[in-house]
Amino acid sequence: MVLYFYPRDNTPGCTLEALFFNNALESFVEMGAQVLGVSTDTPESHQRFADRHNLSIILLSDPSHRVIEAYHSWKPKRIFGKEVLGTQRDTFLIDPEGRVVEVWRKVSPRGHADEVRTALSARLAGT
């Protein structure tokens, strides 16, 4: 499973990241992996986001940020000079037994899906 956390639906970076994962979805599925995106947005917001961008990836809502906190992705951020807590853009590769086997912190959306796909492919090949 590819579990990625992102700050907000329909923002430029989050949209780019979702589109990259969505475009690579078929190859992830062929390798036996599911892609899940998680933010604090509501299910309704996720539905509008998915509809607007024709997304097939699964988007999960974590308004209490319980899951986000469990993965240590709820972090202080600086917005307009003020420190606030928010979701850090992180990705986790989880094996079939539920173990986290790869972690990417503070990722850049561009090219990240390919980076994760390469890591999954290498892991499956045993390298």
Taking the C-alpha atoms of residue 28 and residue 42, their distance in angstroms, rounded to an integer, is 25
CA-CA distances (angstroms) from residue 52 to 9, 10, 62, 64, 104? 11, 9, 21, 25, 27
pLDDT of 11 higher than 90: yes
Least confident of 24-33, 76-85, 88-97: 76-85
Describe the crossing of helices 12-23 and 43-53 by its angle, rounded to 10 degrees: 70
pLDDT for res 127:
60
Cβ(120)–Cβ(33) under 8 Å?
A: yes
* Annotated catalytic residue, options 2, 3, 6, 14: 14
Note if 14 is an active site residue.
yes
Question: Among 3.40.50.720, 3.10.20.90, 3.40.630.10, 3.40.30.10, what is the CATH number of 2-125?
Answer: 3.40.30.10
H/E run at residue 51: helix 43-53
Taking the C-alpha atoms of residue 67 and residue 74, their distance in angstroms, rounded to an integer, is 9
Cα dihedral value 108, 84, 2, 110, nearest 10: -10
Average pLDDT, stretch 107-121?
96
pLDDT for res 121:
95
pLDDT bin (cut points 50, 70, 90) of residue 77 is confident
Question: What pTM was computed for the model?
Answer: 0.94
Taking the C-alpha atoms of residue 26 and residue 8, their distance in angstroms, rounded to an integer, is 24
pLDDT of 100 higher than 70: yes
Domain ranges within the chain, ordered by starting residue: 2-125
Average pLDDT, stretch 42-57?
97
Cβ(112)–Cβ(23) under 8 Å?
A: no
